Amino acid sequence: MFRGVAFMVNGKMCITAGDTRVMCRIDPERHDEALKHTGCTTVKMRGREFRGFVYIDEDGFRAKKQLDFWIRLALDFNKRAQASKKRRK
């Protein structure tokens, strides 16, 4: 579904790291605020926007302080996020 390496915390997808960007699962209530940060865009798949999922390109995490911000934001929401339902075959 997502290209790169996914970091799971407490059985929930938290952050993915791809070639040129990371994706963070954040609190949907903080989504619009997050978009104000450099390099941040909404995740879109098949024409649908996913609130609470944001891409951050390289400009948005060049400095350790920037990357730490996104990691903290994702980990804070992870405590309240619901795990995806597992598909059974």
pLDDT tens figures, 30-87: 999 999 999 999 999 999 999 999 999 999 999 999 999 999 999 999 999 988 776 5
The single-letter code of the amino acid at 79 is: K
How many structural domains are present in the chain?
1
Q: Is residue 62 part of a domain?
A: yes
Q: Is residue 86 part of a domain?
A: no
Q: What is the pTM of this model?
A: 0.87
Q: Is residue 69 part of a domain?
A: yes
The average pLDDT across 16-40 equals 95
Domain containing 31 equals: 5-78
Q: Is residue 88 part of a domain?
A: no
Query: Which pLDDT score is estimated for 21?
Result: 94
Q: What are phi and psi of 82, to 5 degrees?
A: -95, 140
Residue 9 belongs to a domain with what CATH number? 3.90.1150.30
Query: Which pLDDT score is estimated for 2?
Result: 57
- Strands, E, within 26-84: which ranges? 40-45, 48-57
Query: Which pLDDT score is estimated for 83?
Result: 83
Q: Is residue 73 part of a domain?
A: yes
